[in-house]
Amino acid sequence: MLFISLSLLLASVHALPHRRIAAKHSLGAAYAVPAPSRAPGNATAGCRSASSWKFDDTNHANITLGDRSFLVHIPTTYHPTTQHALVVSYHGFKANDVKQEEITGFSEEGLTLNGRGLVAVYPNGQFGPGKDGNESIRAWEGAPYSPPGVDDIAFTQQMVQSLSDNLCLDSNRFYASGKSNGGGLTNLLACTPATAKLFAAFAPVSAALYAGANPQNCKPGRAVPIINFHGLADTIIPFDGQAADKEGRTEYATPNITQYREAWADRNGCIYLPPADSSSTTLGVFAVVSHPHVNTTLKTSNCSAVNTHTVVNGFTVADLGHSWPTTLGLDGGGITTFNATTANILPFFDSQSMEMD
């Protein structure tokens, strides 16, 4: 049985790594979010049985599931009888598990959720036709270039079941995130009742919200906590949306990001108020505006009418392109003064648990 001793408590770090994280860990900052939940966990089967999974000296394991694969990272503090939170993170178009681990930093030393080290998982998409129709490029369901006939909703359910059977996890604290095409799948998971109730919160970043990933009939069946990041300088998935891509293909239409966020606030039952500076009777989603980072605006929609802890957080980052926000600019869209993972996403996840529903 896997056993990794708790031996280190290291100082905080803020910068994300340039390469795969080694086995020993420490953590970065936080921002103003609701207090972390300390609700009781819900232990998975992996807490009661031995696993055959083998991890290397950097605490990684490559796991195959049929014709699919995913990369798993466990913390140095992992113990097979202690319940750990799970973060699943989906890569972007043309990327893979290793790249997603690098840009997000979810495997970074010392990261915690609910006071314990977290398990980070990076699935690989299937190879699809690409944008030219004759390529072989990894992609997720919901995009025009997705592999035909591939069901990534079912794959996600099967992967989470496999993780639950082999690792000691807290099923009240499963979280989903993704970049670009992976952000689109993250949104689709949030819109799908079977997976909306599987994950406590969702973090789509620079999300490719094509019609297949952002269905008009999105009905998750519960109020869904969402934290979303998008750059104003994104030319691949423009913040203001697009009716078609540069080649005029309407299947590449994407929504205005503000309207996308307001749609989530609407279906979550967030507060509505008349515009303060208008006599209009038209209602708009009320959002508290703040500026938690340089060149960054946060709009928070309070959904306490449905669930005290459910919010929709939309971060709009000036001068940021199609990128996961980091101080190192690890995926080419520019740099920011903050690392979204440690500064915002993990504190947001920490405030959410399925136990609250």
The model's confidence at residue 202, banded by pLDDT at 50, 70 and 90, is: very high
For residue 347, tell me if it sits in a domain: yes
Expressed as residue numbers, the domain containing 190 is 45-225+255-263+322-356
For residue 1, tell me if it sits in a domain: no
Q: If you average pLDDT over residues 181-201, what whole number do you get? A: 98
Which residues lie below 8 Å from residue 2, measured CB to CB, with a gap of 6+?
Answer: 51, 53, 55, 74, 78, 80
For residue 82, tell me if it sits in a domain: yes
For residue 272, tell me if it sits in a domain: no
Q: If you average pLDDT over residues 6-15, what whole number do you get? A: 34
For residue 314, tell me if it sits in a domain: no
For residue 121, tell me if it sits in a domain: yes
For residue 96, tell me if it sits in a domain: yes
- Whether 41 shows a pLDDT value over 80: the answer reads no
Q: If you average pLDDT over residues 270-278, what whole number do you get? A: 57
- Whether 208 shows a pLDDT value over 60: the answer reads yes
Tens of pLDDT along 225-246?
A: 999 999 999 999 999 999 999 9
For residue 298, tell me if it sits in a domain: no
Give me the CATH number covering residue 106. Answer: 3.40.50
The model's confidence at residue 14, banded by pLDDT at 50, 70 and 90, is: very low
C-alpha–C-alpha distance, residues 85 and 174, integer Å:
6
The model's confidence at residue 287, banded by pLDDT at 50, 70 and 90, is: confident
C-alpha–C-alpha distance, residues 142 and 152, integer Å:
9
What is the CB-side half-sphere exposure of residue 95 using CA atoms within 13 A? 26
Q: If you average pLDDT over residues 196-211, what whole number do you get? A: 98
Domain total of the chain: 1
Tens of pLDDT along 128-162?
A: 999 999 999 999 999 999 999 999 999 999 999 99
Whether pTM exceeds 0.95: no
